[in-house]
Amino acid sequence: MAARQTFLVLNNTSLSAADMLLVLLGQEPRFVEGPVSEGKTTYKAGTIDRRRFEQAKSDTVSYIKTHTRLPATVWIGSETLSLEDFAATLAADRSSGDVSVRKGNPELRRHVTMEPQKTFGWVIHPEGFQAPELLDMARLQAWTLKPAVLK
């Protein structure tokens, strides 16, 4: 998760990026929705003070419990990390000292097409129908994607 944010299949179990983020936050995987918007990183320093990072983790857990969704951004004082950058930073954290900020790689989004004109060519849609906003939303919800495991 530190190198790329996507799902994981291991020993007949699949975990979404959201599931793995919850585990990294000390939570059990459960149903959550993806963020409702694209987050931005405004945090400029290369490291985060341990105390501030632990507070950000706690705030993120509270947000997820309250809203049943992942936040678009995680606050570090008055600055933010995008969800991708926070997930990468959290996954790379060694739990002591200052925390090195990592850049996220939201590979999970590649599972949602970038071509709205080809996506809605079903008979149920009018000729030429496009809905790029739906695809944008799907890319945000891709945090919750995981493959089915056949048993």
> pLDDT (tens digit, 9 = 90+) per residue, 91-133?
999 888 999 999 988 777 777 777 777 777 778 888 888 888 8
Does residue 129 belong to any structural domain of this protein? yes
Structural domain contains residue 119: yes
In a domain, 105, yes or no: yes
User: Which strand (E) or helix (H) includes residue 27?
Assistant: none
Query: How confident is the model at residue 123, as a pLDDT?
Result: 84
- How far, in Å, CA of 151 to CA of 13, rounded? 10
| pLDDT score, position 25 | 97
Q: What is the pLDDT of residue 39?
A: 95
Q: How many residues does the chain have?
A: 151
Q: How far apart are CA 149 and CA 130, in angstroms?
A: 32
Of 41, 120, 122, 29, which Cα lies nearest the Cα of 70?
A: 29
List of the chain residues with pLDDT < 50: none
pTM of the model as a whole = 0.85
Residue 12 counted as domain residue = yes
List all residues 6 or more positions away from 115 whose beta carbon is below 8 Å from its beta carbon.
Answer: none
Residue 150 lies in a domain: no
Confidence at residue 106, expressed as pLDDT on a 0 to 100 scale = 77
| Residue 1 included in any domain | no
Total domain count for the chain?
1
- Please name the residue ranges forming H helices in the chain: 17-24, 50-67, 83-92, 116-119, 132-141
- Asked if residue 95 is part of any domain, the answer here is yes
Give residue 49's domain range. Answer: 8-144
